[in-house]
Amino acid sequence: MNGFAAEILASFLGPARRMGSVLLLATLVGVGTLSFSLPGYGQDGITDFSGIWRRDAFRLVPPYMFDDTIVQGVVDGFENSILKPWTAEILMEKSNSENNGRIYANTMGTCWPYGVPGLYDVRAIQILQLPDEILIIYDIDHQLRQIPLNVPHAAPVEPSWYGDSVAHFEGDTLVIDTVGFHEAPQAMVDAYGTPVSEALHVVERYSLINDGENLVAEILVEDPNIFKTPWSMTVEYYTDDQKLREAPCAENNREWPYLMPIAELPDF
């Protein structure tokens, strides 16, 4: 197909999205029979999650926290049914510090990688589905996850900010399994500063609903060093034709002067 014919064909296709693999028979400026694929169903009938997805503007709150316009804190304090007591103590200290006007350091304020499941605090993502891997781009700092398909975890796993992720399909559901996270002070499970241990294990299950107009992510989190029991949450996205914004953390973090950590004593 020459460039002119391709441009004409593109103008006819317009914004069509997630309609599956189709065969177009056309006689268009001598083009003849054309075959092309639209997002929705990839090779061999596998559901294609490619596209830009956005969720409504709200702060994600795990089930062990509460969040309103005035107070942030740990539900039930040290008797929390999900948090280990030492973890609850850390979060309560951070919460009390914030309520007293002393903001604790978190990934948003310090521009450290968000990690998983912390990346679900990002509103807009772009998924690129390739034959052998899934790429997920997040609009804050254009953070990137490269997730191979149908392979086991690396052995041994090298700890990293986003962990070692592998994916496979269960019917129309995309399942991503992630282990091997950094156990560092800057690594956090969420925007509240919940710590990460090397035992963190996250399973994400993606599915399309409403004829492909919505993407649902079900996230299961377990870390026996941090939590008493596994916990889960569900995040729903909608399709978005707008490109991802350019949002470097250091440039666009309007609150950074107030979110940076403050030392009790000077360094010298």
55 and 34 in a common domain: no
For the stretch 138-192, pLDDT in tens is 998 889 999 999 999 999 999 999 999 999 999 999 999 999 998 888 889 998 8
User: 234-244 pLDDT, tens per residue?
Assistant: 999 999 988 89
Same domain, 7 and 93: no
Pair 27, 64 in one domain: no
Domain hosting residue 19, numbered range: 3-38
On whether both 16 and 76 belong to a single domain, the answer is: no
Look up tokens 């800057």; give the residue. 186
Whether the Cβ atoms of residue 74 and residue 92 lie closer than 8 Å to each other: yes
72 and 180 in a single domain? The answer is yes
> Chain-centre distance of CA 159, in angstroms?
18
Specify whether 160 is located in the same domain as 116. yes
With respect to residue 45, please indicate whether it lies within any of the assigned structural domains.
no
13 and 103: one domain? no
In a domain, 253, yes or no: yes
How does pLDDT run across 46-62, given as a tens digit for each residue? 899 999 999 988 778 89
Instruction: Tell me how far apart the alpha carbons of residues 30 and 1 are, in angstroms, rounded to a whole number.
Output: 9
**Residue 46 forms part of a structural domain:** no
- Residue 181 forms part of a structural domain: yes
Q: Which of 177, 228, 229, 221 is nearest to 200 (CA)?
A: 221
In the chain, helix, strand, coil percent, each to 5?
A: 20, 35, 50
Q: What is the pTM of this model?
A: 0.77
> Do 94 and 196 share a structural domain?
yes
Q: What is the largest CA-CA distance in the chain?
A: 78
Pairwise CA distance, residues 161 & 74, whole Å: 25
Q: What percent of the chain has pLDDT over 90?
A: 50
Domain count, the chain: 2
